[in-house]
Copies of this chain bind each other. A is one copy, B any other.
Amino acid sequence: MGESVNLDPLFRPSTVAVIGASDKELSIGYRILHNLSTYRFRGTLFPINPKVDSILDYKAYPTIMDVPAEVDLAHIVLRNTLVPDIVEQCGKKGVKVVIVNSAGFKEIGAEGTALEDEVVRIAREYGTRVFGPNCQGVMNSDEAVGLYANFTFTPLRPGHISLIAQSGGVGEVINNRLYELDAGVRLYASNGNACDISIPEILGYMGRDDGTRVIIVHIESLSDPRGFLEAAREVSRSKPVLAMKSGRTEEGAKAVCSHTGMLLQQETTARMIFKKAGVQYFSSHEDICQTAVGFACQPVPEGRGVGIITNTGGPAIIATDELIEAGLEIPSLSNKAKAALEQELHPAASVSNPIDVLATGTPQHFAAGLRALLSEDDIHSILLHFVTPFFVDCPAVAGEIAAVGRAAEKTIASVAMTNKEIWAETLRIVRESGIPTYDFPETAARVLARMTEYGEFRTAARDEHPEERFEVDVEKAKRLLDKKNRGPLPAEDVFSLLECYGIRTVVWKSAHGAKEAIQAAEEIGFPVVLKIDSPEVIHKSDAGGVVLDIRDSKSLRLELERMQDQFAAEDQLYLVQSFWPGGIEVIAGAKAEAGLGHAIMFGLGGIYVEVLKDVAFSLAPLSRREADKLVRAVRAFPLLLGARGKEGADIYSLREMLLRLSQFVSDFPRISEVDLNPISAGNTREATAVLDARIIL
């Protein structure tokens, strides 16, 4: 879907009308025209204002109908109640996209929602797309376009970072920070209530834009989670997508609702979407901006090995800590590289990794260090620290760094520890070579870690096979599920459904009444477990509806009598299972997420899930890699490998069970919940089976 949407009239219009353009300098209607003019929009501008002849030397027109040309984009700055009529005029005029800057729509409640619905209805009638309302607008720094359809203040400067923000305030904070960092922004979009043109559509467009190398997204609430997932997943196969999301806490989420009029979104859902789509998650503006700068000007590292070069010891240690904590590696240098460095550097210099060229390091020293690191096979990115001493020719050092950097095919980031006024020239030389200059070692190290992580995601995503499908009995499963409309299924059907999908269960038999139950137990063999099979009895164990480890017919008979007394008539339905002691108790589950499919859950049972909340989630359908990660994501994973002399679990069987569960719920979207609890996880495939389960429609 997102694929085919053409947002060129929004981001690359030939003609822009500003409806509500004003000649009053402190008005938004003036500011938008002023910005479009200041940043030299390359197309034609039409202020619409019935009261004046011209604004800022542009001839004004009384209405959009009077404009003597086709209009690609109309930016509407009028009171909310006027908007429907104006959109109708735009529709009649054939305007392709309208930006509705005005507030007073969904975010103010029922009345505003009705107004917003009206706007959408009218626009659809004419095939006009709507951006907003209650939004800032868009920008495009492409020199062929020069579009600043926004009332804010950050100057437009060409670059490779594109930016989508639901909240205009947050968008401007990010835009402004990128400006301060000397990084240009390519496309900017802040679409507020997003009644029509959506974040997934914009994301897809940015993904296809050649000038965009990395995309920052700030989200408050995902109105179309599935659409976002699909768009982000597609884009992140070729370009990194970096995200922030407000409303992580309950209090924050409530604030989002009152700010945007959107529904409350679970933080965990957003995290699952980001993970599945390969979107990197940030909780700090500074980090997201600095990371975007790295992606915008350097290639993605092809491995985890980092070479460090420095002219001061302390900061290199900080970088080492950060890199190692982030899972990167600092490989030793080869003897060849060491020998070369011993020749070229000062005798007191350190010729290991990190290379310390000393505070007196010359341009040649830095160049030699860089060349040595670039020639090492197991070094994939370079972290260069450069403090600017008064007694060194710093611009010359920068010149050598720039020369080596320009020719390099590996990722280079630098930490420039300097007074930015005194050494402005030095900084400029390094930056113009495409090497980003960070203020702090930990910043550069974290950026390299994020870039490396993205490289690994991209490789894995490209190598990933389509979702694995097991041979299963879909037809039978469908028949079983069709027996019921909603609510929990009877245990017999639950176990049959799991069988259809090859999810191993303990040996079981369904039995009507005591006689059949005893017969079943004898066929299965003692010891057995007896369970009452009644959807009405929810907490079976607590209610006395489950008895474990029944060793003979006599005991079974006694229990059956007790249950008959307690629960029901003589033809009560029972489930008789083989009793499995031992095995590690694990749990798995699936839960439908509104508009998104199912989340698959995995964890260890008992206290691990109930007290330590040690469970992990991943969105279905799972790939083999995702299922594997899910099993390994719980803190108690070492127990599955076998700990304290106890046997571990067969990880592969657990992974397969999760994949089959994923296939099952993906085939049947009407399933609301599946609980496999507990699963007894043994050290072979045969010793791993579901002991109890629940399915709710």
B-binding residues in A (CB < 8 A): 26-28, 31, 108, 151, 153-155, 165-173, 176-177, 179-180, 218, 220, 244, 246-252, 255-256, 258-259, 283-286, 312-318, 320-321, 324-325, 330, 348, 350, 354, 387-392, 417-420, 422, 439-443, 606-607, 610-612, 635-636, 638-639, 643-644
Contacts and interface: CB of A to CB of B under 8 A. Distances in A.
A31 B422 contact: no
Oligomer copy total: 2
Nearest to A155: B419
Given A176-B419, A251-B330, 14 more contacts: A31-B391, A169-B315, A170-B315, A173-B315, A173-B417, A246-B321, A248-B321, A283-B442, A284-B443, A285-B442, A286-B439, A606-B644, A611-B636, A612-B638
Contacts of A388: 153
Contact of A173 (B169, B177, B283, B440): B440
Which of A108, A249, A313 neighbours the largest number of chain B CB atoms within 10 Å of its CB? A313
A234 B49 CA distance: 69
A317 B255 contact: yes
A168 B320 contact: no
A325 B417 contact: no
A418 B284 contact: no
A325 B249 contact: yes
Nearest to A606: B644
A452 B169 CA distance: 27
A154 B154 CA distance: 29
Contacts of A639: 607, 611
A286 B611 contact: no
Q: Which 3 A-B pairs have CB atoms at the shortest separation, nearest pair first? A: A167-B314, A169-B312, A252-B321
Contacts of A612: 635-636, 638
A442 B317 CA distance: 27
Contact of A169 (B252, B285, B313, B350): B313
A417 B607 contact: no
Which of A165, A284, A643 is packed against the most chain B CB atoms within 10 Å? A284
A525 B324 CA distance: 56
Contacts of A330: 251
Given A169-B314, A439-B177, A419 B325 contact: no
Nearest to A422: B153
A314 B170 contact: yes
A247 B318 CA distance: 7
5 contacts: A169-B314, A255-B316, A255-B317, A258-B350, A285-B440
Given A153-B419, A417-B173, A612-B635, A220 B317 contact: yes
Given A318-B170, A321-B248, A611-B643, A28 B391 contact: yes
B169 A607 contact: no
A251 B354 CA distance: 11
Contact of A321 (B154, B249, B441, B638): B249
A664 B151 CA distance: 69
Nearest to A348: B108
B314 A154 contact: no
Contacts of A440: 173, 177, 284-286
B644 A607 contact: yes
Contacts of A316: 255
A417 B174 CA distance: 10
Given A643-B610, A643-B611, A419 B317 contact: no
Contacts of A250: 324
Contact of A251 (B108, B259, B285, B324): B324
B153 A325 contact: no
Contacts of A317: 167, 220, 246-247, 252, 255-256, 259
Contacts of A179: 419
A551 to B, nearest CB: 23
Given A611-B636, A611-B638, A321 B247 contact: yes
A320 B643 contact: no
A443 B284 CA distance: 8
A408 B442 CA distance: 37
Contacts of A611: 636, 638-639, 643-644
- Residue among A169, A248, A324, A417 having the largest count of chain B Cβ atoms under 10 Å: A169
Contacts of A168: 312, 314
A443 B320 CA distance: 25
A62 to B, nearest CB: 24
A614 to B, nearest CB: 9
Nearest to A356: B259
A251 B322 CA distance: 10
